């Protein structure tokens, strides 16, 4: 998302302070992979929860705002709030049932953990947060989701059910955290204890792939999703050589010869992007195009003006080789007398704590 978020830099200043650094170090959650906290706050209670959360974890923050400002959802016995909830309940699969919110970044690429912080409205998830999840829940299928609910006194089972309905394929980090009027004074302790119970995804070595065209090799950084994991498994058997063709003045593309898992998103691909199209075709971009793709990665170290030359833009038969190693950068960078139990990344960098991925050990590729 390139962090084009409504970052609350003033409010979240605590996360950059000395005290926040100590709090982060003391919270036994490990070094988290890139994390997003998305919240809606009508009374300010959820905003306070987010402030506390970001004292303990490093995360980007996205606030959901209503498109129509100044509405009093609680007026006249919560008449408007109830009306919004009833509209969703009557037609939960219809986008028109959900109240409008301000535009937000559409892509969740790069985020592996998402923490949802929402108020409870009449035993249900606040309507505006439901709007966000209705439109963006499908992008969370490969993410780890955590839920924090704020209420006065009502139980949160209805909110949990709403979240599971709107994000049906996500992996839950653990049980939801319930902050209510009775325990709100102990919020700091509750958040710290809760984080210890959550199974978030942690950071790992980035995985590189190498693309060779006409004896020139370039590194590409792979995304972290089921499609790239399946592609890496294929490439562990050896390099893959394809014949691609330029198309549309913005890409070269062609069949892989096999299918990969899809998680298509409507995105605008940018120069350097590598995507999966229709499950079995690979596209390498030197221009841009909006369509439904599964992201695979991005070509590194080339400017936008250099990409057309490398990708042989305009040619009809372009021989492209994909591999996990490069003679120029990977295996030659690893000492021949490496210790038996030492791991190296495919880029030749020694790592003491290899996480999930492909590494070099004793001169051979191994999977962790």
Cα–Cα distance list, 53 to 223, 349, 367 (Å): 27, 33, 34
Cα–Cα distance list, 82 to 124, 143, 148, 154 (Å): 10, 31, 21, 15
Within a 10 A sphere around the Cβ of 279, how many other Cβ atoms?
14
CA 210 to chain centre: 23
Mean pLDDT of the region 157-186? 95
The pLDDT score that the predictor gives to residue 14 is: 29
DSSP state of 101: B
* Cross-strand partners of 323: 210
The pLDDT score that the predictor gives to residue 343 is: 61
* pLDDT tens for each residue of 232-242: 889 988 899 99
Query: Which of 277-281, 327-331, 342-346 has the least mean pLDDT?
Result: 327-331
Tell me which long-range contacts 254-257 makes (C-beta under 8 A, separation of at least 24).
254/281, 254/282, 255/280, 255/281, 256/280, 256/281, 256/282
Of the candidates 91, 101, 93, 96, the one whose C-alpha atom is nearest the C-alpha of residue 126 is: 101
pLDDT at 101 over 80: yes
pLDDT at 8 over 90: no
The pLDDT score that the predictor gives to residue 226 is: 87
The pLDDT score that the predictor gives to residue 224 is: 78
Of the candidates 60, 27, 57, the one whose C-alpha atom is nearest the C-alpha of residue 192 is: 27
pLDDT at 2 over 50: no
Q: For the chain, which domains are there?
A: 11-197 (3.40.50.360), 208-324 (2.40.100.20)
Of the chain, the percentage scoring pLDDT greater than 70 comes to 79
Note the pTM of the prediction, 2 decimals: 0.54
pLDDT at 191 over 90: yes
């Amino acid at each position: 998302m390139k962090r084009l978020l409504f970052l609350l830099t003033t409010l979240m200043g605590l996360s950059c302070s000395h005290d926040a650094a100590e709090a982060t170090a003391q919270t036994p959650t490990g070094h988290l992979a890139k994390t997003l906290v998305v919240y809606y706050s009508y009374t300010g209670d959820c905003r306070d929860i987010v402030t506390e959360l970001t004292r303990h974890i490093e995360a980007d923050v996205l606030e959901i705002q209503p498109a129509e400002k100044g509405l009093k959802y609680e007026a006249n016995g919560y008449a408007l709030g109830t009306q919004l909830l009833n509209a969703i309940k009557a037609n939960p699969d219809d986008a028109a049932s959900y109240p409008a919110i301000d535009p937000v970044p559409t892509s969740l690429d790069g985020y592996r953990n998402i923490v949802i912080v929402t108020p409870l409205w009449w035993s249900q998830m606040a309507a505006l947060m439901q709007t966000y999840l209705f439109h963006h829940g499908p992008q969370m299928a490969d993410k780890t989701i955590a839920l924090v609910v704020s209420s006065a006194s009502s139980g949160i089972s209805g909110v949990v059910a709403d979240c599971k309905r709107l994000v049906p394929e996500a992996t839950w980090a653990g049980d939801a955290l319930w902050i209510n009027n009775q325990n709100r004074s102990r919020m700091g302790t509750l958040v710290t204890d809760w984080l210890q119970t959550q199974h978030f995804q942690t950071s790992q070595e980035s995985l590189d792939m190498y693309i060779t065209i006409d004896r020139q090799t370039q590194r590409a950084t792979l995304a972290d999703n089921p499609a790239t994991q399946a592609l890496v498994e294929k490439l562990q058997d050896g390099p893959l050589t394809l014949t691609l063709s330029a198309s549309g003045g913005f890409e070269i593309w062609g069949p892989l010869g096999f299918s990969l898992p899809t998680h298509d998103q409507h995105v605008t691909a940018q120069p350097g992007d590598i995507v999966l199209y229709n499950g079995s075709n690979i596209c390498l971009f030197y221009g841009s195009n909006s369509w439904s793709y599964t992201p695979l990665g991005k070509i590194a170290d080339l400017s936008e003006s250099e990409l057309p030359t490398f990708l042989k833009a305009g040619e009809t038969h372009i021989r492209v080789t994909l591999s996990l190693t490069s003679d120029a950068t990977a295996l030659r960078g690893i000492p021949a007398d490496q210790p038996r139990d030492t791991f190296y990344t495919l880029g030749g960098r020694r790592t003491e704590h290899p996480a999930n991925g492909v590494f070099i050990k004793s001169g051979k590729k191994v999977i962790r």
